[in-house]
Chains A and B, each alone.
Chain A
Amino acid sequence: MASIIINGQEHTLPEGEKLNAIQAATRYGVDIPYYCWHPSLSVVANCRMCEIEVGSKDPKTGEIKMVPKLVPGCQTPAKDGTVLVTDSPKVHEHQRMVMEYLLANHPLDCPVCDQAGECGLQDYSFEHGQANHRYVEERTVNPRKDVSDLIQLNQDRCIMCTRCVRFTREITQTGELQVRNRGHHAEIDIFRDHPLDNPLAGNVVDLCPVGALLDKDFLHSQRVWFLSKHDSVCTRCSTGCNISAEENRGALWRFKPRFNPHVNDYWICDVGRYSYKAANDAALLSACYLRTAGDLGPAAIDKVLIEVGRSLASIAGAGGKTIGILSPFLTVEEAYLAASYLKGLNPANVLALGQVPVEGEDWSVKPDSTTGRTGDTSFIIPRPFTIHAERCPNRLGVSAVLEHFEDGLIDFASASARVAAGEFDGLYFASDAIDPWTDEAAAKALRAGVKYLVVQDTNVTPLAQLADAVIAGATFAEKAGCYVNADGRLQYSEAALAPRDGSLPDLDVFAILLGRDPAPIRSRDVLAELAGVIPVFAVAKDGRLPVFGAPIEGAEGVGMGGVPFQDAWAQHRGAKSSGN
């Protein structure tokens, strides 16, 4: 078995993985500070922060030979017999030196810098730097600029790690960013008239270890230590990127990517990144409504639910059928409870899939380690990234639930046709779609086909205007539950916001309609239940999923696994969010 010696301690190396010294050391709880290294970008070893003492142990004699000079950890493979010393005075002295250099021309404007609180310079200065400032020369001040309409570059704070440049060359392969000028005048810049506007551009802000690249959308809006982070899944397309949804005072402030090697690697797309705004929309449905004497008026949620339950039961009692149209924005748990409820009322009730919004075509990047990269690329696992044209999170998940209750999947078009043809007495339309469905003609046709219409949604839509009962459901940020992404991976998404006033999360709505114990229902319990009932979801047997999610039955696992990763400075060092 291959082993590595870190600060005198011997550890067994994981098999089948190619790690560098930084990665290997982290596995065993030893932090090696770094800036320019990133697990998904080529190794360039230019920040020189991760330098350590490296040696090797002779397998026969057991003798340890050290390299006489410092070596960057990012560039050092963790092999059998590798010896790493990360805590010697020599290493500490070097780290102090690099910190002193990096701060020499730094503006030290932390009080007005967005990065403060999650900044590599702050954290490492505190841990590895020194308090006094020997640099008495005039500072080199490189100019600030915009690199796109959404991203600002405070060049004076840049530490020239080139993560951003490598991202645009190696991951998106669009190459908008470059370094210009030499030495201490070196700057990151765009080429004239070619802004940084690729679909993944926002990731450079996350990659930047300091406050140089900043998201103008977030600029000066929050101090990051006030944000509570929630491990969520983006619902803007069926990729299902793992995100951290960051909340303060009842509003979302930003989405940040979370690493998932099977899904989104370290990235999210800009459309997903800014989709958080939909959860803060002041125009969201903020009350439930009932139609009395022809007029739709606000009503208390419990009253609405009693009324809906009564009406649908009486349709069933009279031998009539109700159709449930469940949108692909619902979680697996919600779809399961909704289906159980409607089928429980009358086994002849019909379930159909709601509208699946599609926009444009799939867009992919495939990092190719043979082009574009010149630093050491041997540690990288190239992973493609796709933005799907299918702009909803859970078509596969909701479909799988529906297929369990219904032979053959009924899509939205045929469901609409059957409703319009007057086949049903009742329609339960559960949506929660991010973009309000505005097709008035189609809404009228649906309305005309049924006697009783329930709309459960987050937005005021033409169909809601025509409904007999309107239930204000949860936005993506307000609900917890699982989604199945385009590759068939079942992933859990935490709620980031409390239910907004006047609304009730969909899971509770269905639980109440089902007559379950009114205590708050937990998505985990529902997941455990449905995993036992629907074999496709058997992976979630006890209601728990691995950090990176798991493929549902019949789906192939995509991509090689990995261990969770977050840059040291981005890690939440205070209280962990409630999480799993």
Chain B
Amino acid sequence: MADFEPVLSRNWNVPDSHTLPVYESRGGYQSARKALTTMDPDKVVALVKESELRGRGGAGFPCGLKWSFLPKDRKETFMCINADESEPATFNNRLLMERDPHQLIEGIILGCFATKASTAYLYIRYEYINAYRILEKAVAEARAAGFLGKDILGSGFNLEIYVHRGAGAYICGEETGLIESLEGKRGWPRIKPPFPAIEGAFRKPTVVNNVETLCCVPHIVERGADWFKSIGTPKSYGPKLYCISGHVNKQVCVELPLGVTARELIEVHGGGVWKGRKAKLVVPGGISMGFLTADELDTKLDFEDIRKPGCLGLGTAAVTVMDDHTSIVDYLYNTTRFFAHESCGQCTPCREGCAWIYKTMKRIKGGGGRLVDLDIMLQLASNMGMMPGTTICGLADGASWPIRNAMAKLRPELEDYINTHQEGVRQITPLQEAIFAGQLAEPNLISISLPILNKV
């Protein structure tokens, strides 16, 4: 452990690390040179496969395997680089792009070389204006130096990178939402199959990879698959950028081998929970992934172990810490508001379900909760998402996970809150209650003209 040497972030603190001369002086573009001049594309795919690099964008899908799904007889391939980083509390892609853009470009060159793509679209979230400017400059530099364009390094391989700014929505980070948005359409995810590898951007085979995933590739090419697999835990190899935020003393992004525990992250790298308090909730990878409670802090944050305490996955490894003064009600209110706001509105269960759950949370928070609301929310949450098969994309799973985790892990606190927080004006009316219970609305209820809706 002690001898772990950061690679992804090794240039971050070097002055002018975003410029080509600095990058080259630190060994940059050697992997690209090596691959383009001495390897053939299939060998790069095989190498990445062998390294068992898993996608860092959230789903953890094996990268080499994804590349090998491309049809053999394809004529044209597109590469889309997912830099839409919109998962709350995630900022590792931003640092990768701002501090070391050439590492990403080299990764893109290798990824495109391996997948025989000669066009790459870097889809960057709208708000990342700084990263966008830096990337534009870096791409121009790389092109001027012959790392992009025609016949790169005399290998006959051509590549153009287009940096495309998104128009601002979480859902455009979902790979098919990204492709739609890139095509100039509304970022509504597509049904799969067909998967992007078969029919993606502009109806051509397309690979979508996260920024960090591609940034790992130059190092794999340089140091080999064995090196990569010597880092991390079984099935979760390699270095990973962990973002730590929330109630810690130090909000940072650190590069560590996959499989560090939440406790170590907080204590060692985050400088401990702030104000000397204790951690109550730890969100492992963006709020879509659910959360760990105080007794689950020894869980390893990798692709496999994180599932044991019931989290959805590692996600983006953006760890958010909440101290013991935080109410689970506030936490859920915020997450549900986020998902109700970000649901693209396409699938009925996600569109209506996220809004329903959010409105219920709002009522509970305001002091109008009922215990039965918890059952309803859990039931709604358990039936939406790709896992039960009721939605097109994974946003709904992400929306449901915090609810599911909260009901499983902290239900007593929620019940307690409801029992102790009752405000007359927030409560539902007897008429609503009657309708809810499936009873006919009593004539005398109508005659005293109770409002059907609570206007708050």
CB of B351 within 8 Å of the partner chain: yes
Across the interface, do A45 and B392 meet the contact criterion of CB distance under 8 Å? yes
Decide if the interface of chain B is mainly helix, strand, loop or mixed: loop
Residues of B within 8 A of A132 (CB): 435-438
Interface string of A135-166 (1 = CB under 8 A from B): 11111100000000000000000011010000
Query: In whole angstroms, how far apart are the Cα atoms of A64 and B435 in the complex?
Result: 43
Across the interface, do B355 and A184 meet the contact criterion of CB distance under 8 Å? yes
Contact for A137 among B360, B388, B392, CB less than 8 A: B360
Report the count of interface residues on A (CB-CB < 8 A). 46
CB of A44 within 8 Å of the partner chain: yes
Q: With contacts A182-B169, A184-B352 known, is A375 near B190, CB below 8 A?
A: yes
Across the interface, do A134 and B352 meet the contact criterion of CB distance under 8 Å? no
Across the interface, do A97 and B349 meet the contact criterion of CB distance under 8 Å? yes
Nearest-neighbor residue (CB-CB) of A35 within chain B:
B348
Nearest-neighbor residue (CB-CB) of A103 within chain B:
B352
Across the interface, do A376 and B191 meet the contact criterion of CB distance under 8 Å? yes
Q: With contacts A102-B352, A136-B432, A374-B180 known, is A182 near B345, CB below 8 A?
A: yes
Shortest Cβ distance from residue A14 to the other chain B in the assembled complex, whole angstroms:
23
Residues of B within 8 A of A105 (CB): 352, 355
Nearest-neighbor residue (CB-CB) of A93 within chain B:
B383
CB of B391 within 8 Å of the partner chain: yes
Residues of A within 8 A of B453 (CB): 138-139
Residues of A within 8 A of B343 (CB): 182-184
Shortest Cβ distance from residue B368 to the other chain A in the assembled complex, whole angstroms:
9
Residues of B within 8 A of A69 (CB): 386-389
CB of B454 within 8 Å of the partner chain: yes
Q: With contacts A160-B348, A181-B345, A183-B343 known, is A134 near B376, CB below 8 A?
A: yes
CB of A43 within 8 Å of the partner chain: yes
CB of A133 within 8 Å of the partner chain: yes
Across the interface, do B342 and A182 meet the contact criterion of CB distance under 8 Å? yes
Contact for A70 among B341, B346, B356, B388, CB less than 8 A: B388
Interface string of B139-180 (1 = CB under 8 A from A): 000000000000000000000000000000101000000001
Report the count of interface residues on B (CB-CB < 8 A). 51
Contact for A160 among B171, B345, B391, CB less than 8 A: B345
Q: With contacts A137-B360, A182-B342 known, is A70 near B348, CB below 8 A?
A: no
CB of A461 within 8 Å of the partner chain: no
Across the interface, do A51 and B360 meet the contact criterion of CB distance under 8 Å? no
Shortest Cβ distance from residue B188 to the other chain A in the assembled complex, whole angstroms:
8
Across the interface, do A135 and B356 meet the contact criterion of CB distance under 8 Å? yes
Contact for B348 among A49, A133, A137, A376, CB less than 8 A: A49
Identify the B interface with A (CB < 8 A): 169, 171, 180, 183, 185-186, 188, 190-191, 193-194, 203, 340-349, 351-356, 359-360, 363, 376, 383, 386-392, 428, 432-433, 435-438, 453-456
A-B contact pairs, 30 of them (CB 8 A): A43-B191, A45-B191, A46-B348, A47-B347, A47-B348, A48-B349, A49-B348, A67-B389, A69-B386, A70-B388, A101-B351, A101-B352, A133-B435, A135-B356, A136-B433, A137-B356, A138-B454, A139-B453, A159-B348, A178-B186, A179-B188, A182-B344, A183-B344, A183-B351, A184-B355, A186-B344, A374-B183, A375-B190, A375-B191, A376-B193
Shortest 8 CB-CB contacts between residues of A and residues of B:
A69-B389, A132-B438, A186-B345, A137-B359, A184-B355, A101-B352, A70-B389, A183-B343
Identify the A interface with B (CB < 8 A): 43-49, 51, 67, 69-72, 75, 94, 97-98, 101-102, 104-105, 131-140, 159-160, 162, 178-179, 181-186, 370, 374-376
